[in-house]
């Protein structure tokens, strides 16, 4: 295998780990409440803008921007749950899709209105320069983003499977009424799930902002990426989201390298449609 | 015959509107209201009656618009030729998308429609034959009346009114046929409908194809009126959004819901754009987003459903209202 190809694949894996991070938020609320957040990609976009504002207003780098983005998005997630999701969950499918889709528009165009449509970016090398490792050249920002994305995604998995909070959340996902009889408040658990899911997008956004351009419409593409990842990985499965995220990162990088950057989004979308056609239950899911 | 009184009154009002209001700006807005009402009524068939929320309907709109402009730009034919071509194209795409996704739950369908619309937009933006980013233009100077290129909005107004009337007549016929009953059964509970023997996937697919074909006609008419189409105006996600929100605001699944929604939102957008200029575009969609969220949260049936409930409620004592409310509860 040529050296460039290895470089492209490593880049794809690092990007894919960040995809996995924000997709695990989507898969969590989808698996738990059977509601799809169409504003998920726009949450990531907000995380990017929080990191940008932290830099321009406070002069803080990602070390300050990432925690602030995580916190502010977690707060937003809980607010959105209580103000909107809790009620539309009981409504018809039309209301569920319209509700989160409308939220996506509201967020996207509020940012558009405030910041304009210009491409913004954090200064290059805000994390560090380009590292040379075994002959590979990797931007420090992408390396940090990939490693943090991987670790936090694994952490989320452990949180769900190894802690009492995780067990409670899974209990609510399984049967909210039964969980309530056991003294677990479904409302609180679902609000926490929204907080965690949104926190994951905030962190992912702050990480992506260190090496990617920042623009209000970026959430649309990222939302579709998250949706593809969750479809591939199976709903509610964080390990599934991790594998699928890494896979999509690599596919995107490879197709960008082999057939041109313009077409890399198309490849992901077409892949998604093919999957819906042939294997709607996901890579690892069961029918 | 009593149930035809209100629709006929509405029709008379729509026919007389340009006579009463001679201001060209208002006539143009009137034409646009009718145009978007056609697209939103077409969306209503799959999104409202069948309850399958397509958020990528612009791809069908684009089929019509590109077919109309393509017929002129490449073959010097009248853009009218594009209507049947766009129609067939839209129905074919709907079948290709609908067959795999309408078997799945509604979320997949919604997301697939976005993915298809975005894929087509990206491909068209990179295809020189389809005009790439600058898009395709229609006849700069009309050669004859079949180029459908008029300075005044008046001819468009009556053309759109005719097409809207046909679209609503088709919708009404469908809603009162066996298919309409199937669709409502599917919307209320797909599982129950299937267990009672309704061919749910097939019926949803037919509704989707019909909706797609009618939407492509709206796209062709749009391109004729504006004389050009580019990826933003013919395939941009915001057109999907407009179509969807008009139907949902007025009342998804109600015959005149989309027209009511268009009559509210089109003037709102035109006026805010002319007052605020380019800066207003972002703000308009902030308001759109807020409206969609509020409808979903408080009034999923739309304004017409709300008006209908208030109408039933008038002059009745509280217990009777409670009874009506209870009987309407899902």
Rounded Cα–Cα distance for residues A50 and A202 (Å): 8
Q: What is the pLDDT of residue B329?
A: 45
Q: At what angle do helices B200-226 and B178-188 cross, to 10 degrees?
A: 100
Quick one: how far is CA A50 from the chain centroid? 15
| ipTM attached to this prediction | 0.84
Mean pLDDT of chain A: 89
Rounded alpha-carbon distances, angstroms, from residue A230 to A15, A93, A154, A226, A276: 16, 19, 16, 6, 12
Q: What is the pLDDT of residue B322?
A: 53
Rounded Cα–Cα distance for residues B125 and B136 (Å): 11
Residue from A279, A181, A278 nearest A234 by CA: A279
Distance from CA of A263 to the nearest CA of B (A): 8
Residue A7 has pLDDT above 60, yes or no: yes
Across chain B, which has 330 residues, the per-10-residue mean pLDDT values are 80 88 89 96 94 92 95 89 95 92 81 89 91 84 76 89 96 93 88 86 94 96 92 89 89 93 90 72 83 88 87 66 50
Q: What is the pLDDT of residue B281?
A: 66
Contact, A197 vs A39, CB < 8 A?
A: no
Q: How do A130-133 and A136-139 pair as beta strands? A: antiparallel
Distance from CA of A107 to the nearest CA of B (A): 8
Q: What is the pLDDT of residue B330?
A: 43
Rounded Cα–Cα distance for residues A232 and A238 (Å): 11
Q: How do A136-139 and B228-229 pair as beta strands? A: unpaired
Rounded Cα–Cα distance for residues A244 and A271 (Å): 12
Residue B292 to residue A99, Cβ atoms within 8 A: yes
Residue A287 has pLDDT above 50, yes or no: no
Interface test with B, best of A88, A93, A287 (most B CBs within 10 A): A93
Q: Give per-residue pLDDT as tens, A53-77.
A: 999 998 888 889 999 999 999 999 9
pLDDT class for A137, splitting at 50, 70, 90? confident
**Any idea what DSSP says for residue B45?**
I
A→B interface, C-beta within 8 Å: 36, 38, 84, 87-88, 91-99, 101-110, 112-113, 117, 220, 224, 227-228, 231, 262-263, 265-266, 269-270, 272-273, 276-277, 280
What residue segments make up the domains of chain B, in order of their start?
A: 24-261
Interface test with A, best of B300, B305, B328 (most A CBs within 10 A): B300
Contact, A85 vs A99, CB < 8 A?
A: yes
> Which chain B residues are within 8 Å of A117, Cβ to Cβ?
282
Q: What is the pLDDT of residue A210?
A: 93
**% of residues, chain A, pLDDT over 90:** 53
How big is chain A by its Cα radius of gyration, in Å?
19
The torsion region of residue A131 among left (phi > 0), alpha (psi -120 to 50) and beta comes to beta
pLDDT class for A192, splitting at 50, 70, 90? very high
pLDDT class for A283, splitting at 50, 70, 90? low
> Which chain B residues are within 8 Å of A104, Cβ to Cβ?
289
Beta-carbon count within 10 A of A225 CB: 28
**Any idea what DSSP says for residue A122?**
P
Residue from A259, A235, A255 nearest A247 by CA: A255
Q: What is the dihedral of CA B258, B259, B261, B265, to 10 degrees?
A: 130
């Amino acid at each position: 295998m040529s050296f460039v190809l290895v470089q492209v694949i490593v880049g794809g894996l690092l990007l894919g780990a960040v995809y996995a991070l924000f997709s695990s938020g989507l898969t969590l609320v989808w698996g738990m409440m059977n509601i799809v957040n169409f504003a998920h990609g726009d949450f990531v976009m907000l995380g990017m803008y929080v990191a940008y504002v932290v830099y321009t207003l406070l002069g803080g780098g990602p070390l300050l921007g990432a925690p602030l983005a995580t916190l502010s998005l977690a707060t937003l997630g809980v607010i959105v749950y209580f103000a909107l999701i809790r009620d539309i969950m009981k409504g018809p499918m039309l209301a569920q899709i319209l509700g989160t889709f409308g939220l996506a528009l509201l967020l996207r165009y509020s940012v558009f209105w405030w910041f304009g449509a210009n491409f913004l970016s954090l200064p290059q090398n805000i994390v560090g320069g380009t590292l040379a490792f075994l002959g590979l050249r990797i931007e420090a920002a992408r390396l940090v983003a990939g490693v943090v994305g991987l670790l936090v995604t694994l952490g989320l998995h452990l949180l769900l499977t190894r802690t009492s909070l995780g067990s409670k959340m899974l209990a609510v996902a399984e049967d909210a009424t039964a969980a309530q009889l056991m003294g677990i408040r479904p409302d609180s658990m679902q609000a926490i799930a929204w907080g965690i899911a949104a926190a994951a997008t905030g962190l992912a956004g702050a990480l992506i902002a260190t090496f990617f351009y920042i623009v209000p419409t970026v959430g649309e593409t990222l939302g579709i990426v998250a949706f593809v990842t969750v479809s591939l990985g199976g709903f509610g499965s964080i390990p599934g989201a991790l594998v699928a995220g890494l896979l999509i990162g690599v596919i995107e990088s490879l197709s960008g390298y082999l057939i041109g950057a313009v077409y890399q989004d198309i490849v992901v979308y077409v892949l998604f449609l093919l999957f819906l056609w042939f294997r709607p239950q996901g890579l690892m899911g069961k029918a | 015959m009593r149930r035809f009184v209100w629709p006929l009154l509405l029709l008379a009002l729509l026919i007389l509107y340009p006579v009463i209001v001679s201001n060209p700006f208002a006539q143009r807005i009137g034409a646009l209201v009718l145009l978007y009402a056609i697209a939103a009524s077409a969306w209503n068939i799959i999104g409202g009656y069948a309850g399958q929320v397509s958020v990528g309907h612009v791809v069908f709109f684009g089929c019509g618009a590109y077919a109309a402009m393509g017929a002129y730009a490449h073959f010097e034919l009248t853009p009218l030729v594009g209507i049947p071509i766009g129609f067939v194209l839209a129905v074919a795409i709907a079948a290709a998308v609908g067959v795999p996704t309408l078997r799945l739950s509604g979320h997949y369908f919604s997301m697939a429609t976005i993915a298809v619309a975005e894929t087509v937009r990206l491909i068209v933006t990179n295809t020189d034959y389809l005009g790439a980013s600058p898009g395709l233009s229609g006849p700069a100077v009309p050669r004859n009346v079949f180029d459908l290129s008029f300075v005044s909005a008046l001819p468009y107004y009556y053309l759109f009114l005719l097409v809207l009337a046909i679209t609503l007549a088709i919708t009404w016929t469908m809603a009162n046929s066996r298919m309409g009953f199937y669709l409502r059964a599917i919307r209320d509970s797909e599982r129950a409908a299937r267990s009672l023997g309704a061919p749910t996937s097939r019926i949803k697919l037919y509704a989707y194809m019909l909706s797609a074909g009618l939407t492509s006609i709206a796209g062709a008419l749009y391109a004729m009126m504006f004389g050009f189409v580019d990826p933003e105006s013919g395939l941009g996600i915001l057109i999907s959004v407009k179509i969807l929100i008009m139907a949902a605001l007025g009342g998804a699944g109600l015959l005149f819901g989309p027209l009511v929604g268009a009559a509210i939102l089109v003037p709102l957008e035109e006026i805010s754009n002319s007052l605020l200029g380019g800066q207003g575009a972002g703000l308009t969609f902030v308001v759109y987003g807020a409206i969609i969220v509020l409808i979903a949260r408080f009034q999923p049936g739309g304004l017409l459903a709300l008006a209908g409930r208030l109408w039933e409620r008038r002059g009745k004592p509280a217990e009777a209202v409670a009874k009506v409310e209870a009987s309407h509860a899902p």
